[in-house]
Amino acid sequence: MDTKILEKVGLTKNESIVYLTLLRLGTSKTGDILNGSGLNSGKIYEILGSLKVKGLVSESIMNNIRFFSAAPPSQILGWLDIKKEEIATDEEIIRKELPQLEMLRKEGVKEVKSVTYTGFRGFKTAVEEAFSALEEGDEILGMGITSKKDRKFNDFWLRFGEERVRRKIQAKNLFSERSGFMSSYEKIRLTENRVLQGITPVTVDVFGKDKVLVFNYSEPTSCIVIYDENTATSFRNFFYQLWKIAKK
């Protein structure tokens, strides 16, 4: 059996090898385990000790010799149940501490000029964090918006538009081309859209008074968030210059 199956549920490679060896050999001395597993003797007791803690190996002494046995494979499910309980407890602890952790991060962000996020998850984090700081009456200005990207990004922006309306945040968007995505976006309230063909190969959003988000949807996907009021003002002025010449 491939050790990767056991590694996926949290055992180390060596723990997986020793457990499978014991299943195959039955109750065994350490020397037999080493011969059957091909591992060196340096960490065998450490590995066996870890498996004992997980409830996957038991130890007995006969004639002053230590023997080890593998627990039934069904015990792996019991160990996973314990892990779930531990994760649930850890999650509860972290949730209680999140406000304090967020305060610490926000204090640090004030000192940061820009932050780069990568991947779809990073993209979502960047947008949601920038959005969380907006207040009713603020606006989001987007330029270089295109449908020519992975569909999950377009789907995200449509869902985001609904949340933006709920928060009563106005948006103005400069699209690089007319598309079904633009048509869908025009159905969202508190939104104005215009077209300026091929405006930019990246998308630039101004969130409120002091944040600029630069999106590169090509692989590897990235988002640069600039925390600076002067930069946001410059891009806002640039946006409105383009807004005047864009087509409705």
Listed by start position, the domains of the chain span 4-76, 109-245
Distance (Å) of CA 65 to CA 15, 28, 68, 80, 199:
22, 10, 10, 31, 78
What pLDDT sits at residue 108?
64
Amino acid at position 19, single letter: Y
Give the burial class of 93: count Cβ atoms within 10 A of its Cβ; 0-12 exposed, 13-18 middle, 19 or more buried.
exposed
Statement: the pTM of the whole predicted model exceeds 0.75: no
Output the pLDDT for position 112: 59
pLDDT in tens for each of the 248 residues of the chain? 778 889 988 899 999 999 999 999 999 999 999 999 998 878 899 999 999 998 999 999 888 899 999 999 989 898 888 888 989 999 999 999 888 888 877 666 655 578 999 999 999 999 999 999 999 889 999 999 999 999 999 999 999 999 999 999 999 999 999 999 999 989 999 999 999 987 777 999 999 999 999 999 998 899 999 999 999 999 999 999 999 999 98
Could you tell me which CATH number the domain at 4-76 has?
1.10.10.10
Give CA–CA dist 15/8, Å, rounded: 12
Q: Distance between CA atoms of 6 and 9, rounded to whole angstroms?
A: 5
Check: CB of residue 215 under 8 Å from CB of residue 126: no
- CB neighbours of 55 closer than 8 A, spacing ≥ 6? 71, 75, 78, 79, 82
The pLDDT of residue 110 is 59
Report the CATH superfamily, name and number, of domain 109-245. Answer: Endonuclease Chain A (3.30.870.10)
**DSSP designation for 192:** E
How far apart, in whole angstroms, are the C-alpha atoms of residue 173 and residue 143?
A: 6
Alpha-carbon distance of 201 to 143, in angstroms, equals 10
Q: What pLDDT was estimated at residue 180?
A: 93
Q: How far apart are CA 123 and CA 190, in angstroms?
A: 23
- Nearest 10 degrees: Cα torsion 118, 114, 136, 162: -10
Contact 32, 25 (CB under 8 A): yes
Distance CA 136, CA 30 (A): 68
CA 87 distance to own-chain centroid? 17
